[in-house]
Every structure is written in structure tokens, then in C-alpha cells.
């Protein structure tokens, strides 16, 4: 039996999320069903993160063990032949039997895309939150950096969540200049923050992104952070308000939850030979 680690990209629209559910089509179910045909038995697939309904991924990681003797390239071809076009396996490699995509992850990176212009691009409408009107992007960038570090993020989780602890460590939390994800975008530093307001008025710069890397995330955590940053960008709250929201540990003290379609799971990092996408 061989354990494989696969990297996936998918358009989350029309799916109930990563996790198999009784109602609706999930990414996990699609892969398990494809592997069932491939291996001739039920195959359990474990994912690195449970993306919600409507959330996308360009670097989700999953693992499974199969009996059939296949090389990684054959796994990619065979799975993609059974999966819908909205879900693609973009890489596969053999992994140790003990590899666990979720528990073994050292960090996860998410990107949230916002379209800050009066008119929404028809080509981005399914992959970015339309936020018209002026935004104080420098204030949003300053507030984003306040999130970095180890904190109790109870105020930034969906109601009804049950987790052992709401403490998480955020390694990087930045507003970035973005287009398509390349993994090489530079974060906006203080030296250029004064130019942001004029930059986003450029028709080619209407797309604004928030990138966050952390040890782990609570349910809806990134989307609530984004909703809070937009409140600051609109001038409804000061920069330091987000610090108070963290300290208050009360969901009512943070901003609204941004819609799911602007969120992407970009990368899962493991270190060494099992770095996501390697």
C-alpha cells in the first residue's frame, strides 16, 4: 500500500465545501469517489483544511493510501480523468504512511481578493468581493499588521464553533498589491503606503488583496478579519479598534463576515521534502 500526498486547485462555487456532507457535493466526496473507482475499494481522503462552501483553493493538500501500484504522475492523470473540470489535481508525490495533511502542517496561507471600484469586473465577480467607494488602504494595512503574533481569536470565529482552543499564531498579515497569485508578491511597506490611495484609483489596480499566513485558523476567521479591515478602510472604525476586538474575545465586537467567494486557500507548508506544491 502506498500513501500519496496530492495538491489540489478548485473553484468552490457550487460545492458545499471540502468536507463530505449528507446534502450537496463536496470536494472530499468527489476525490473519494474517484479513488474508489481507481482502487476498487473505499478510500478515505484527509484534507489539510476544511474550506467552507464557496471558498476556492489553489494549494489545498490531501492524503490517502491505495493498494493499486501507481506512480505519482499516473495518480494525477487518473484522478483528473474522473474529476469535474472545476477540481484539478495539480501535483502528487509519495509520502510516509504517517503523513497527516492537517496535523503535520506548519503553516497555511490564505488570500482574500477585493475589487475596490464602482464597477465590478465581470471577470472577477465570482472570485472577489465588490467593495465600492473609497478605502483607506494605508489604515487597513496598519490594522492588518496588528493581527500578527499569538492571540486568542475568539472574536474572529463563527458562532457555534467548538474547538479546544481559540488561540492561534499569525506569522504574516498584510494587504498586498496583487494580480494572479505567483507567490512572489511583495507586501506593502510603510515606504509606499502613502501612494496606495492613488494607486487603487488606477483601473489596473482595482484589485486589492489580503494575505495571511498562520499556524491555523478558526472557522470563518479570515473572512471576519477581512470584514473588520473593510470597516476600518471605510472609516467606520479606527486602526486600534481591531486590537480591542481581539482583546474583547466577543464575536459581536468584530466586523462582519466577508462573503466566501473572495477567499482562496493558497498554500500549505510542511517544511523539508513535504512542502506543499513541491
Q: Any idea which residues carry the catalytic annotation?
A: 52
HSE-up (13 A, CA, CB side) for residue 255: 27
- CA dihedral (125, 127, 132, 134) in degrees, to 10, reads -150
Q: Which residues pair with 110 in a beta bridge?
A: 212, 265
Residues 105, 118: contact at Cβ < 8 Å?
Answer: no
- Closest listed residue to residue 157, CA positions, set 166, 149, 165, 148: 166
- Closest listed residue to residue 158, CA positions, set 244, 217, 84, 216: 217
Q: How far apart are CA 28 and CA 50, in angstroms?
A: 9
User: Quick one: 133 exposed, middle or buried, by C-beta within 10 A (0-12, 13-18, 19+)?
Assistant: exposed
Distances (CA, A) of 179 to 113, 186, 189, 271: 9, 12, 18, 26
Residues 143, 174: contact at Cβ < 8 Å?
Answer: no
Amino acid at each position: 500500500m502506498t500513501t500519496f500526498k496530492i495538491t489540489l486547485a478548485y473553484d468552490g462555487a457550487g460545492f458545499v465545501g471540502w468536507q463530505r456532507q449528507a446534502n450537496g457535493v463536496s470536494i472530499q466526496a468527489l476525490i473519494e469517489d474517484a479513488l474508489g473507482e481507481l482502487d476498487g475499494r473505499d478510500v478515505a481522503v484527509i484534507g489539510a483544511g476544511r474550506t467552507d462552501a464557496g471558498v476556492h483553493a489553489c494549494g489545498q493538500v490531501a492524503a490517502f493510501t491505495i493498494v493499486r501500484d501507481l506512480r505519482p504522475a499516473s495518480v494525477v492523470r487518473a484522478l483528473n480523468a474522473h474529476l469535474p473540470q472545476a477540481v484539478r489535481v495539480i501535483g502528487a508525490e509519495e509520502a510516509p504512511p504517517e503523513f497527516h495533511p492537517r496535523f503535520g502542517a506548519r503553516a497555511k496561507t490564505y488570500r482574500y481578493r477585493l475589487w475596490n471600484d464602482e464597477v465590478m469586473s465581470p471577470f472577477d465577480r465570482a472570485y472577489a468581493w465588490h467593495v465600492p467607494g473609497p478605502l483607506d488602504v494605508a489604515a487597513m494595512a496598519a490594522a492588518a499588521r496588528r493581527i500578527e503574533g499569538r492571540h486568542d481569536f475568539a472574536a474572529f470565529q463563527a458562532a457555534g464553533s467548538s474547538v479546544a482552543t481559540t488561540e492561534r499564531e499569525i506569522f504574516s498579515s498584510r494587504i498586498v498589491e496583487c494580480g494572479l497569485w505567483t507567490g512572489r508578491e511583495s507586501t506593502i511597506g510603510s515606504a509606499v503606503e502613502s501612494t496606495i490611495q492613488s494607486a487603487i484609483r488606477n483601473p489596473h489596480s482595482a484589485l486589492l488583496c489580503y494575505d495571511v499566513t498562520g499556524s491555523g485558523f478558526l472557522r470563518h476567521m479570515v473572512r471576519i478579519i477581512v470584514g473588520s479591515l473593510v470597516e476600518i478602510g471605510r472609516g467606520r472604525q479606527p486602526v486600534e479598534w481591531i486590537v480591542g476586538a481581539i482583546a474583547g474575545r466577543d464575536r459581536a465586537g468584530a466586523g462582519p463576515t466577508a462573503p466566501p467567494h473572495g477567499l482562496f486557500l493558497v498554500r500549505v507548508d510542511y517544511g523539508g521534502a513535504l512542502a506543499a506544491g513541491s
